[in-house]
C-alpha cells in the first residue's frame, strides 16, 4: 500500500489532502500541532496514524518518521510538506520574532521533515517529496515579505533536491498556488492590495486534487489556477523588470 505523511494535516490543504489520499486507498500519516483537530481528522479517516508535534523540533520529527514508517512496511511513498504559517502586514509593523517564527516553520520545519524522511524515501521505489510552495515564490509580494522569502526558499530547495536526489530515485516537486480559501488566509485581519485584486478562488480541495496529480507526475513546479499559470509561464519568458512592474501594479494602494 502506498503511504503519505502530511505535515500541517489538521486543517486546510493538509486535511483535504489527507481525506483525498485516504479515500483512494493510501495509508495516511498526520502531523500537526493542533491535537484536537488532528484527533478528529484521524477518527474520520478510520483511526489514521497521527502525531502532535512542532515541525521545528528536529528530534520530534525524526521520532515521528521512524514510528510512522516502522508501523507500516518500512517505506514512504510520499512526504507532503504542508505545514506553514502566514502573516499579512507591513514588514516594519510585524515583530521580528513573528518573522522569525514564520521562517522557522515554513523553512526549518520543511528541512527537518525532508532530512528525517530521506532514508525511508530512498528505500521506496517511486518515492517523492511534495513541498507546499506558493505564487509568492515567483516574485516578492508586498505586505507578505517574510512569507515570500520563505516560499523562495522552498522553491530553491525543491529545485536543488530535485537534481541532487535523482541518483536515489526520489522525485522532488512543489505546488505553487495563489491565495487559497483556508483558515490561514481567512483568519487574517489585514488584506494586502494584491489579495483584493486577485481574489481568493481556490479551495483546499483544489490543491489536494493538484497534489494527487503531482503524485504521479515528473513536474518540478506545478502552478495552480488559470490566472497564475498564465502569470507563471509569462514570468519565465519576461525580463525581471516587467515582473517587478506587474507586482508593483497589483500591489498599489
Q: Which SS3 state, helix, strand or coil, does residue 62 take?
A: helix
- Active-site annotation holder among 120, 139, 147, 232: 147
Contact 26, 4 (CB under 8 A): yes
Among 188, 195, 185, 211, smallest CA distance to 82 is for 211
H helices, E strands: number in the chain: 11, 9
Q: How far is CA 98 from CA 84, 89, 104, in A?
A: 13, 11, 10
Q: Is 120 a catalytic residue?
A: no
Among 223, 227, 183, smallest CA distance to 14 is for 183
Contact 147, 136 (CB under 8 A): yes
Q: Give me the sheet containing 171-176, strands edge to edge.
A: 49-52, 27-32, 3-7, 78-81, 128-132, 171-176, 221-223
Give me the active site residues, please.
Answer: 147
Amino acid at each position: 500500500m502506498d503511504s503519505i505523511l502530511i505535515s500541517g494535516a489538521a486543517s486546510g490543504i493538509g486535511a483535504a489532502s489527507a481525506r483525498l489520499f485516504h479515500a483512494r486507498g493510501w495509508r495516511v500519516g498526520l502531523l500537526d500541532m493542533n491535537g484536537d483537530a488532528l484527533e478528529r481528522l484521524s477518527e474520520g479517516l478510520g483511526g489514521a496514524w497521527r502525531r502532535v508535534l512542532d515541525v521545528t523540533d528536529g528530534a520530534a520529527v525524526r521520532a515521528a518518521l521512524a514510528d510512522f514508517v516502522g508501523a507500516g512496511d518500512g517505506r514512504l511513498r510520499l512526504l507532503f510538506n504542508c505545514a506553514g504559517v502566514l502573516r499579512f502586514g507591513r514588514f516594519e509593523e510585524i515583530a521580528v520574532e513573528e518573522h522569525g517564527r514564520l521562517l522557522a516553520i515554513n523553512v526549518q520545519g520543511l528541512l527537518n521533515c525532508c532530512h528525517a524522511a530521506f532514508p525511508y524515501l530512498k528505500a521506496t521505489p517511486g518515492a517523492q517529496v511534495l513541498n507546499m510552495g506558493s505564487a509568492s515564490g515567483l516574485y516578492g509580494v508586498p505586505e507578505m515579505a517574510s512569507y515570500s522569502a520563505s516560499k523562495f526558499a522552498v522553491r530553491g530547495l525543491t529545485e536543488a533536491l530535485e537534481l541532487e536526489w535523482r541518483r536515489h530515485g526520489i522525485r522532488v516537486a512543489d505546488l505553487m498556488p495563489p491565495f487559497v480559501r483556508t483558515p490561514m488566509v481567512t483568519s487574517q485581519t489585514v488584506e494586502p492590495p494584491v489579495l483584493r485584486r486577485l481574489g481568493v478562488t481556490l479551495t483546499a480541495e483544489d490543491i489536494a486534487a493538484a497534489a494527487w496529480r503531482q503524485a504521479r507526475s515528473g513536474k518540478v513546479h506545478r502552478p495552480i489556477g488559470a490566472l497564475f499559470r498564465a502569470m507563471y509561464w509569462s514570468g519565465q519568458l519576461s525580463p525581471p523588470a516587467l515582473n517587478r512592474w506587474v507586482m508593483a501594479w497589483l500591489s498599489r494602494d
